[in-house]
Copies of this chain bind each other. A is one copy, B any other.
Amino acid sequence: MNNYDSALLTDLYELTMLQAYFDEGLQEQAVFELFVRVLPPQRNFLMVAGIEQVLCFLESLRFTRDELDWLAREGGFHRSFLDWLRNLRFTGDVHAMQEGTVFFANEPVLRITAPIGEAQLVESRLINLVNFSSLIASKSARCVLAAPDKLLVDFGLRRAHGAEAGLLAARSSYLAGFAGTATVLAGQRFGIPVFGTMAHSYIEAHAQEADAFAQFAASRPENVTLLIDTYDTEAAARKVVALAPQLRAGGAKLISVRIDSGDLVSHARQVRAILDEGGLADIHIFASGNLDELKIARLLADGAPIDGFGIGTLLTTSADAPYLDSAYKLEVYADEARRKRSEGKATWPGAKQVYRTIGADGRMLYDAVMLADEPPEAMDQLPLLRPVMRGGQRLSLPEPLADLRLHAASELACLPDSLRDLKKAEDFPVEISPGLRALADQLDVIPR
């Protein structure tokens, strides 16, 4: 029912073009690149994610008999094409930035080199995967920058756009530096730490709030967080103080209280004072309720004594910038560079590489987008696109998420201060190489 491993998860035009290429006998090698045209106004940088999902998709791409029968019956495709489609596998090469890498506008994050039909067919799902995962990694990275020493947890499954969005958002936010997620399936599938407390309904199902606290602690004593804002936040904090000796005597590890509504600065201050006075200085305050990086930054600037944040809806929908202006464009066909010239959507032609220059202070200085066969200007320029698949086969095992997370952290550490700010900064300098400019000029004079 909710299984989306299907080659039909694509736009119809990918298949109509594929049939036309088949009919014409066009099957030379093509190079397509995936990039973002313009950063959303609310972002100073983006962070790549979703590459692992892309490789899984490419490895497993095939049409089943049922799918081919459906295409014959309902799709109006002809038999010889469908017979050919039955044996289609992805046989191309893939270059990609490592997940967790910071990137900017016009920088290819993924390059596909394959017979044109294969390279074209995968467009829809490749954009779908990389666009969303990178969107959430980028949003999450801003949360990490806003609260670098706090416990951040993804609470967003319920308002995420469907199941896959919930899962991939958990992965992307963990990659970018979150401590974990509330989504259990993300724990099972990706090995991400899973966090969870209780809902207001649990409190309401008990005649007395204090009974609910005691029963919950008895059921799951290892790691107890109590939700204290169902009726009166400060009164509930006083109940926690009164109950604590009994709960701890019973073996419960009382870790934190959660506040989910109201003025969080004021409540957190009052609750902190109540807990401290009650001898519970070791109990943390965890906050949630329609938070994002801007609200968190404001809470911390206002001195709210909050130790951790559950971030839900505004994270997993990336509500202030719910999409990237991502594109997947033909750059080379049959060894000739190609260029789309549509108004406002012109692209840089040719197979490209992105080189990054790091300054003496360890911070990013500038990037250069160059032709893949142009030599870098200096020895210390780092190429960001790396070969990850050749002839349809992965070149190495999937990188552990923990390693990608370390890479993301080091990327954030290398950001110039201006880009670390949540406010919009000057664009990071991305140079277009002379070779690339010359090639574009050369193509523009060819009549089509």
Contacts and interface: CB of A to CB of B under 8 A. Distances in A.
Contacts of A5: 1-3
A447 to B, nearest CB: 8
A326 B339 CA distance: 45
Given A11-B183, A204-B333, A2 B4 contact: yes
B342 A262 contact: yes
Given A131-B158, A260-B342, A323 B329 contact: no
A231 B342 CA distance: 6
A106 to B, nearest CB: 17
Contact of A159 (B16, B131, B168, B262): B131
B188 A70 contact: yes
A20 B225 CA distance: 13
A343 B12 contact: no
A65 interface: no
B323 A182 contact: no
A264 to B, nearest CB: 11
A197 B163 contact: no
Contact of A163 (B4, B11, B123, B220): B4
Given A11-B158, A219-B24, A340-B200, A75 B194 contact: yes
A168 B182 CA distance: 23
Given A3-B2, A220-B19, A338-B204, A74 B187 contact: yes
Interface string A175-218: 00000001111011000001111111111110111000001101
Contact of A198 (B10, B16, B313): B16
A13 interface: yes
Interface in A312-364: 313, 317-319, 322-324, 326, 329-330, 333, 338-345
A39 interface: no
A80 B324 CA distance: 47
Contacts of A60: 1
Contacts of A135: 161
Copy count, this protein chain? 2
B220 A157 contact: no
A13 B198 contact: yes
Contact of A319 (B4, B24, B323): B323
A10 B26 CA distance: 47
A183 B9 CA distance: 7
Interface string A104-121: 000000000000100010
Given A17-B199, A333-B204, A128 B231 contact: no
Contact of A205 (B12, B30, B230, B261): B30
A135 B75 CA distance: 29
A318 to B, nearest CB: 8
A288 to B, nearest CB: 11
B188 A23 contact: no
10 closest A-B pairs by beta carbon, nearest first, are: A12-B196, A162-B164, A4-B163, A161-B161, A201-B330, A13-B196, A161-B165, A20-B219, A127-B158, A262-B343
Interface of A: 1-6, 8-17, 19-24, 26, 30, 32, 56, 60, 67, 70-71, 74-76, 116, 120, 123-125, 127-129, 131-132, 135, 155, 157-168, 182-185, 187-188, 194-205, 207-209, 215-216, 218-220, 222-223, 229-231, 260-262, 313, 317-319, 322-324, 326, 329-330, 333, 338-345, 448
